[in-house]
């Protein structure tokens, strides 16, 4: 039976029912995965990769419709058999791990119960126990009695993987399993998955937008674009040479750190720092009697940022970096310590008066949520200009047009009447930048401004931020979990860990020669390295 | 789901495209139009005895006459006028009151929220009908009393509903972005937050009309309305008073009863469609039906349709 592929897809087409017709999302895609093979399916958002992942087990929700082709899992036809036969194949022959582990687990049931439930679906004589399953994914079996919310994001994803493997399927589908997790946790999870794969011999289909990650873990890579697979190749081959121009573009688009140019220390500025904090602390759930806090998000942080400087604040999720950013912009108030932005304490949002001077302005992470879906781009920018402190308010339209031009959205007139859903993610983030610039701030606080964007446009947005700094002299506090992009854009890097800044220095110096153990760990976990390795192994062909 | 999306061109097309909604709109439209034109189309003065007592339907009196000899058709038309404007006023007022309380609570949070939530909860646990009966008994009967009483007792659930919706919207980043840009509080609530609650508000409003019509009719049937005013509820009250059931004069209570039931029915049909706009799952099911797939989405089995 070794010849039967774990997954065989022939000419699969999938569409979504629309008002007038079925809108195609996947167009005659074919590929197969050999038993025990680790296959990676890469592509940008909207290319149809997740649609394929969910179609395989016929879990794609309405209005999704499979419009043609064949899917065979270990020889079982998924499209012709009746519903009960397909249901019997789920979990036992193939299973899927989704991105959001919090919604995959039942919040009111203990882990043990949920693992047992997965095991009970099986009919085989060899029965594992929930404890064995937990041990399999390197979690202490003592945690069996825990509820999902008591586990960390990484542990929850491990539990979901354990459930997926409970009945020893021939294939598991991982749909962006670590996108919501930071790199260190991601690395640990894939070490576990690879070890289990060697041991149990299942095949893996990993759906991701992260090509460097696939280089590290996959045997074969397929690249998708606009519902089609444009290229399939073994990893070793793909690393050397990419057949399709899109694969090449995808690979070279991700920002890399250029270590060839020596780090340039910006001349020490004589001016006052644009941001200065002293012993800044933010604690949550402080008991007024004992003075103990349930959580110290920011712990005694003293930090300076010179005018026109880009500093990256790097840390894992939960390290307190976002809280720090919110304190700087006045969206959150610190528990103790001082913040001075351009020599003034940030005014809390609730006490702000219109037109009060504000030196720091925020750029948000969620490009989908940070613009009001009801209002036009023009409305967003006009309001920002009108509410901006000082300045001439007679020519609002002119100022809005100037802002759009600055962020590269031209011709400006064509953007004014559009609503956010008519723009791409990158364009939305440009609007977010334009809005932040409306008040001519001295400091931009950019909280993960590119993490929700496709790889191919991340570098454009980072370049835009750097250009705005060069042209307008605005300082930038770039908050990110991504060391590579930090090294790409920042002059200095500050590494935050558990609410404290553990290391701070010139960007390339920190990356090339990290001092703190946590920084080293963070850098080592980046798939594909910081830039040196892939850029030398992959000389960009002259076009 | 937003206001503009709820009432935008796409939503209108979607609404008008479905049969239940069309039926609902036609029934409601006919009822409202007939009531509004009562002065023109009503054959008789509804308060005068224009025929014999309890005459069954005939050509001179299409819906028969009451125990007092009044024309039931004319009463139904004039009664509709009085009933519907009171019901819609109650719906508008409860929705507004609920929105004001909810948005204030959600936006200011802290002690303001605590206080308003407490008040809302108190109004929620007060048993509705007994309070309404007591209030209506003490106040001078009339449409204004009716509106006041039912508004006071009817807003609390909406406030809870809107508050939870507003609280989740408030956490969205575009609210933080508007704050960061320096927008004033009331602008944020009115321009950024409120328009995003469109479908919830619309659905609640339609529900409130149903609530107001039935609650009003119940009160009047109990004799707590203004006996001199003709409404569907008071028609039922007089039918009961003149022992219409025993005398077999079914037309005196079936006509107002059907009027109330039809209004509620048509509004419920409309409400279903408003629901569909706000609920992606219902929408997806409709799209699947359009594409020719007849299978409830709850089965969680992606359909295969090869001829497409």
Residues shown for chain A: 543
CB within 8 Å of A96: residues ≥ 6 apart: A53, A54, A56, A57, A59, A164, A172, A173, A174, A175
- Residue among B174, B179, B288 minimizing CB distance to A349: B179
Q: Which residues pair with A7 in a beta bridge?
A: A33, A73
Strand-pair category, A94-97 with A76-77: unpaired
B301/A352 CB distance under 8 A: no
> What is the reported pLDDT for A218?
93
Separation between Cα atoms, residue A427 and residue A98, nearest integer Å: 28
CA distance B173 to A380: 13
Phi, psi of B211 (to 5 degrees): -55, -45
Q: Which 3 state secondary structure label does DSSP give A500? A: strand
The complex scores an ipTM of: 0.74
What's the token pair of residue A196?
């289990």
Per residue in A90-121, pLDDT tens?
888 999 998 877 778 888 999 999 999 888 88
Mean pLDDT, rounded, for A329-338: 86
Instruction: Tell me the average pLDDT across B283-302.
Output: 75
Q: Does B178 lie at the interface with A, CB-CB under 8 angstroms?
A: yes
Instruction: Check residues B19 and A145 and name the one with the higher pLDDT.
Output: A145
Taking an 8 Å cut-off on Cβ atoms, the answer to whether A15 and B173 are in contact is no
Kindly state whether A346 is in contact with chain B, defined as any CB-CB distance less than 8 angstroms. Answer: no
* CA-wise closest residue to A85 among B301, B304, B305: B301
> What Rg value do the Cα atoms of chain A yield, rounded?
25
Q: Count the neighbouring beta carbons within 10 Å of the beta carbon of residue A270.
A: 6
Q: Is A352 on the interface with B (CB under 8 A)?
A: yes
More confident residue, A400 or B280: A400
If you average pLDDT over residues B289-304, what whole number do you get?
75
A391: confidence class by pLDDT, cuts 50, 70, 90? low
Dist CA B233 CA B253 (whole Å): 10
Mean pLDDT across B285-296: 76
Of B178, B300, B308, the CB nearest to A22: B308
| High-pLDDT (> 90) share of chain A, % | 25
Q: For chain A, what is the largest distance between any 2 Cα atoms, rounded to a whole number of angstroms?
A: 80
- A531, A487 Cβ separation under 8 angstroms: yes
Please indicate whether, in this complex, the C-beta atoms of B287 and A18 are within 8 angstroms of each other: yes
Beta bridge partners of B66: none
B294 touches chain A (CB under 8 A): no
**What pLDDT digit, counting tens, does each position of B32-43 carry?**
999 998 888 888
| Residue B241 main-chain phi, psi, to 5 deg | -65, -35
Percent of chain A with pLDDT over 70: 92
Nearest CA in chain B to A328: B180
Bridge partner list, A495: A314, A503
| pLDDT value, residue B117 | 93
Q: How far is A252 from A456, CA to CA, in rounded Å? A: 8
Window 353-372 of A: residues touching B by CB (8 A cutoff) are 354-356, 358, 361-362, 364-366, 369-372
Q: Compute the average pLDDT of residues B252-268.
A: 91
Q: Give chain B positions within 8 Å (CB) of A375.
A: 191-192
Residues A165, A94: Cα–Cα separation, whole Å: 9
Topology (CATH) of A7-253: Rossmann fold (3.40.50)
Q: Do A369 and B173 touch (CB under 8 A)?
A: yes
pLDDT, residue A542, reads 38
Per-residue confidence band for B297, with pLDDT thresholds at 50, 70 and 90: low
- Residue B213, token pair as written in the block: 């019509």
Neighbours of A240 (CB within 10 A): 11
Q: Can you tell me the distance from the alpha carbon of A419 to that of A201, in angstroms, rounded to the nearest whole number?
A: 49
How confident is the model at residue B88, as a pLDDT?
94
Query: What is the tens place of the pLDDT at every residue in B172-214?
Result: 888 888 888 888 888 888 888 888 888 889 889 999 999 999 9
Domain ranges of chain A: 7-253, 275-537
Evaluate whether A478 touches A310 at the Cβ level (below 8 Å).
yes
Q: Where are the alpha helices (DSSP H) in A241-353?
A: 245-253, 321-329
pLDDT, position B173 = 85
- The CA distances from residue A343 to A275, A346, B257, in Å, are 8, 9, 73
At B124-174, the pLDDT tens digits run 888 767 877 787 778 888 888 889 888 988 899 999 999 999 988 888 888
Ramachandran sector of residue B43 (left: φ over 0; alpha: ψ -120 to 50; beta: rest): alpha
Please check the confidence at residue A494 and state whether its pLDDT lies above 90.
yes
Minimum distance, in Å, between the CA of residue B104 and any CA atom of chain A:
14
- Whole-angstrom distance, CA of residue B18 vs CA of residue B9: 15
Q: Residue A250 burial (CB < 10 Å; 0-12/13-18/19+)?
A: buried
The region of weakest confidence among A13-17, A535-539, B66-70 is A535-539
Asked if A223 contacts A511 with a C-beta cutoff of 8 angstroms, the reply is no
Q: What mean pLDDT is predicted for residues B213-238?
A: 86
* A535 pLDDT higher than 60: no
The two domains A7-253 and A275-537 share their CATH topology (first three levels equal): yes
Strand order in the sheet with A443-447: A360-363, A443-447, A475-480, A310-314, A492-497, A500-506
Interface probe for B, chosen from A17, A357, A370 (most Cβ of B below 10 Å), is A17
Q: What are the φ and ψ backbone dihedral angles of B260, each rounded to 5 degrees? A: -65, -45
pLDDT band for position A125 (50/70/90)?
low
CA dist B66 and B50 (Å) reads: 10
**How far A314 CA lies from chain B's nearest CA (Å)?**
22
Mean pLDDT of chain A: 85
**Does residue A7 surpass a pLDDT of 70?**
yes
Angle (CA) B301-B302-B303 rounded to 5° is 105
What is the C-alpha to C-alpha distance for residues A257 and A253, in angstroms, rounded to an integer?
A: 12
Contacts of B111 in chain A (CB under 8 A): none
Least reliable range by pLDDT among A367-376, A385-394, A398-407, B56-65: A385-394
Fold annotation for B3-299: MetI-like fold (1.10.3720)
Q: Which two tokens stand for residue A164?
A: 């997926």
Overall average pLDDT of the A120-142 stretch: 83
Residue A306 Cα distances to A275, A443, A499, B93, angstroms: 7, 10, 22, 55
> How far apart are alpha carbons B55 and B64 in whole angstroms?
5
Class of domain A275-537: alpha beta
Q: Does B45 touch chain A (CB under 8 A)?
A: no
Identify the band that residue A221 occupies on the pLDDT scale cut at 50, 70 and 90: very high
How far is A343 from chain B, CA to nearest CA, in Å?
19
- The pLDDT, as a whole number, for residue B10 is 59
Is the distance from CB of A363 to CB of A372 less than 8 angstroms?
A: no
- Give per-residue pLDDT as tens, A411-448: 888 888 888 888 888 889 999 999 998 888 889 999 88
* A507 in Cβ contact with A483 (< 8 Å): no
Task: Write the burial class of residue B212 (CB in 10 Å: 0-12 exposed, 13-18 middle, 19+ buried).
Answer: buried
Instruction: Give residue A533's pLDDT.
Output: 41
Residue in chain B closest to A367 (alpha carbons) equals B173
Separation CA A455–CA A87 (nearest Å): 36
Q: Does B171 touch chain A (CB under 8 A)?
A: no
DSSP string, A383-415: HHHHHSSSS--TTHHHHHHHHHHHTT--STHHH
- Separation in Å, CA A405 to CA A161, A400, A429, A440: 47, 9, 14, 15
Please determine, for residue A321, whether its predicted confidence score (pLDDT) is greater than 50: yes
Cβ A59–B300 below 8 Å, yes or no?
yes
Query: Token pair for residue B105?
Result: 């609570």
Minimal CA separation from A352 to chain B, in Å: 7
**Beta-strand pair A94-97/A171-175:** parallel
Whole-number Å distance between alpha carbons of B277 and B296: 18
B39 touches chain A (CB under 8 A): no
Beta bridge partners of residue A32, listed in sequence order: A8
DSSP B71: B
- Please list every residue in chain B whose beta carbon sits closer than 8 Å to the beta carbon of residue A17: 284, 287-288, 290-291, 293
pLDDT at B16: 57
């Amino acid at each position: 039976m070794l010849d039967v592929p774990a997954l065989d897809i022939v000419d699969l087409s999938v569409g979504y029912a629309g008002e007038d017709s079925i809108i195609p999302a996947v167009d005659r895609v074919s590929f197969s995965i050999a038993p025990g093979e680790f296959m990676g399916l890469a592509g940008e958002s909207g290319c149809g990769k997740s649609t394929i992942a969910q179609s395989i087990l016929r879990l794609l929700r309405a209005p999704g419709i499979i419009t043609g082709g064949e899917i065979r899992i270990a020889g079982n036809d998924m499209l012709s058999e009746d519903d009960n036969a397909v249901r019997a194949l789920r979990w036992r022959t193939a299973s899927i791990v989704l991105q959001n582990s919090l919604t995959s687990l039942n919040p009111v049931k203990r882990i043990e119960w949920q693992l047992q439930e997965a095991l009970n679906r099986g009919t085989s004589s060899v029965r594992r126990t929930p404890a064995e399953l937990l041990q399999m994914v390197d979690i202490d079996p003592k945690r069996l009695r825990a509820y999902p919310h008591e586990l960390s994001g990484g542990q929850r994803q491990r539990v979901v993987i354990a459930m997926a493997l409970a009945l020893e399927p021939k294939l598991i589908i991982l749909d962006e399993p670590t996108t919501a997790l930071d790199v260190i946790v991601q690395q640990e999870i894939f070490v576990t998955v690879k070890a289990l794969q060697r041991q149990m011999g299942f095949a893996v289909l990993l759906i991701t937008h992260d090509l460097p990650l696939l280089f590290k873990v996959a045997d074969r890579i397929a690249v998708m674009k606009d519902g089609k697979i444009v290229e399939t190749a073994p990893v070793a081959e793909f690393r050397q040479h990419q057949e399709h121009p899109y694969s090449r573009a995808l690979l070279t688009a991700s920002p890399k750190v250029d270590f060839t140019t020596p780090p340039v220390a910006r001349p020490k500025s004589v001016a006052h720092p644009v941001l200065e904090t002293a012993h800044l602390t933010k604690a949550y759930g402080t008991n007024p009697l004992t003075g103990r806090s349930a959580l110290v998000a920011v712990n005694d942080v003293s930090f300076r940022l010179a005018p026109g400087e880009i500093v990256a604040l790097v840390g894992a999720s939960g390290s307190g970096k976002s809280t720090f950013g919110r304190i700087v912009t006045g969206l959150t108030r610190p528990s103790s310590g001082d913040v001075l932005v351009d020599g003034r304490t940030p005014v809390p949002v609730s006490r702000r008066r219109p037109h009060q001077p504000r030196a720091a302005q925020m750029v948000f992470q969620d490009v989908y949520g940070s613009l009001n879906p009801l209002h036009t781009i023009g409305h967003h920018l006009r309001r920002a200009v009108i509410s901006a402190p000082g300045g001439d308010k007679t020519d609002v339209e002119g100022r809005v047009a100037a802002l759009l031009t600055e962020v590269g959205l031209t011709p400006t007139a064509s953007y004014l009447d559009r609503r956010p859903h008519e723009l791409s993610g990158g364009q939305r983030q440009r609007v977010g930048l334009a809005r932040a610039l409306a008040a001519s701030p001295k400091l931009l606080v950019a909280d993960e401004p590119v993490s929700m964007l496709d790889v191919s446009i991340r570098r454009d947005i980072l370049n835009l931020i750097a250009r705005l700094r060069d042209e307008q002299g605005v300082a930038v506090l770039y908050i990110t979990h991504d060391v590579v992009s930090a090294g790409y854009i920042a002059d200095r890097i500050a590494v935050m860990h558990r609410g404290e800044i553990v290391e701070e220095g010139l960007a390339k110096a920190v990356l090339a020669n990290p001092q703190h153990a946590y920084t080293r760990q963070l850098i080592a976990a980046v798939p594909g390295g910081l830039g040196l390795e892939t850029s030398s192994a992959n000389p960009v062909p002259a076009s | 789901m937003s206001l503009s999306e709820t009432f935008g061109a796409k939503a209108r097309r979607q609404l008008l495209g479905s049969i239940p909604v069309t039926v609902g709109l036609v029934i409601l439209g006919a009822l409202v139009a007939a009531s509004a034109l009562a002065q023109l189309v009503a054959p008789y003065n509804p308060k005068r005895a224009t025929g014999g007592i309890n005459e069954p339907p005939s050509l001179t009196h299409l819906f028969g006459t009451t125990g007092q000899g009044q024309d039931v058709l004319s009463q139904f038309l004039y009664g509709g006028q009085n009933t519907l404007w009171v019901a819609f006023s109650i719906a508008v007022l409860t929705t507004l009151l609920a929105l004001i309380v909810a948005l204030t609570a959600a936006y200011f949070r802290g002690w303001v929220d605590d206080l308003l939530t407490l008040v809302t909860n108190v109004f929620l646990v007060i048993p509705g009908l007994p309070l309404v009966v007591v209030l209506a008994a003490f106040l001078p009967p009339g449409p204004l009393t009716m509106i006041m009483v039912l508004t006071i007792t009817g807003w609390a659930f909406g406030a809870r509903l809107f508050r939870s919706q507003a609280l989740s919207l408030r956490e969205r980043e575009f609210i933080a972005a508007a704050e960061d840009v320096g927008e004033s509080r009331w602008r944020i609530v009115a321009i950024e937050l409120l328009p995003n609650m469109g479908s919830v508000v619309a659905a609640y409003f339609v529900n409130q009309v149903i609530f107001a019509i039935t609650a009003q009719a119940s009160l009047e049937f109990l004799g707590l309305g203004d006996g001199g005013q003709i409404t569907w509820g008071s028609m039922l009250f007089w039918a009961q008073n003149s022992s219409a059931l025993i005398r077999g004069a079914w037309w005196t209570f079936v006509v107002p009863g059907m009027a109330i039931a039809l209004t509620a029915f048509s509004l419920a049909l409309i409400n279903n469609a408003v629901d569909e706009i706000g609920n992606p799952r219902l929408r997806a099911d409709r799209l699947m039906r359009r594409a020719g797939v007849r299978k409830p989405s709850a089965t969680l089995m992606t359909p295969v349709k090869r001829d497409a």
